[in-house]
Amino acid sequence: MLRNLISRLLSTKREEKILPQESWSVTTATLGEESLIIRFRVNAPEQLGKAHFPNVVAISWGFESLSPTTQEAMSNLEDTLTDAVEKQNKAYLTAIVTGPDSREWQYYSTSHDDFMNILNESLSCFPAFPIKISSFSDPEWEAYSRLAGSELSPN
């Protein structure tokens, strides 16, 4: 799903806004009839560099409506998981894509197994989230570069 989404985004209409107080950028895109909001980090991880994170782990959450309860649960997942994996230098959140019926988080990780161990441990205090997880090798960060629409600064 992530590879298809990234490929289809290459030819979409985009509007970009950089958030100066953060190292994030927000882009809107149209994919067929669907509007997407893409939030992505502008720079690669400074301390360890891209080479430390050669694998993509994508977490998808489908929903019928983006209710306040769903938004709060998504924030809990994102904040808790991102804090845990980044604190341990096992993964780096690079992008979040929100469409009319799904949200997807893209992390670059040291390994799928490391990521899953931290995910299971860090999210164990919450009820099960309705998520699907996929992963693939991407040592050159090609998926991120296509999604963000530009190359990352080298690290």
| Confidence at residue 42, expressed as pLDDT on a 0 to 100 scale | 85
Which residue shows structure tokens 């693939």?
A: 136
- What would the pLDDT profile of 15-42 be if each residue is shown by its tens digit? 443 333 458 889 888 888 888 899 999 8
| Confidence at residue 150, expressed as pLDDT on a 0 to 100 scale | 43
Where do the domains of the chain lie, and which CATH numbers do they carry?
Answer: 2-148 (3.30.70.920)
Extract the tokens encoding 116.
Answer: 């899953």
Beta bridge partners of 95: 40, 106
| Confidence at residue 117, expressed as pLDDT on a 0 to 100 scale | 98
Extract the tokens encoding 84.
Answer: 């845990």
CA angle 17, 19, 20 (to 5 degrees): 125
Question: Is residue 6 classed as helix, strand or coil in its secondary structure?
Answer: helix
| Confidence at residue 57, expressed as pLDDT on a 0 to 100 scale | 98
| Confidence at residue 137, expressed as pLDDT on a 0 to 100 scale | 98
CA distances from 147 to 12, 47, 72, 92, 94 (A): 11, 23, 25, 15, 10
| Confidence at residue 119, expressed as pLDDT on a 0 to 100 scale | 98
Rounded to whole angstroms, how far apart are CA atoms 2 and 118?
22
Indicate the pTM of the whole model. Answer: 0.81
CA distances from 145 to 43, 70, 84 (A): 11, 29, 24
Type of residue at 102: S
Name the band, by pLDDT with cuts 50, 70 and 90, for residue 61: very high
- What would the pLDDT profile of 64-114 be if each residue is shown by its tens digit? 988 999 999 999 999 999 999 999 999 999 999 999 999 999 999 999 999
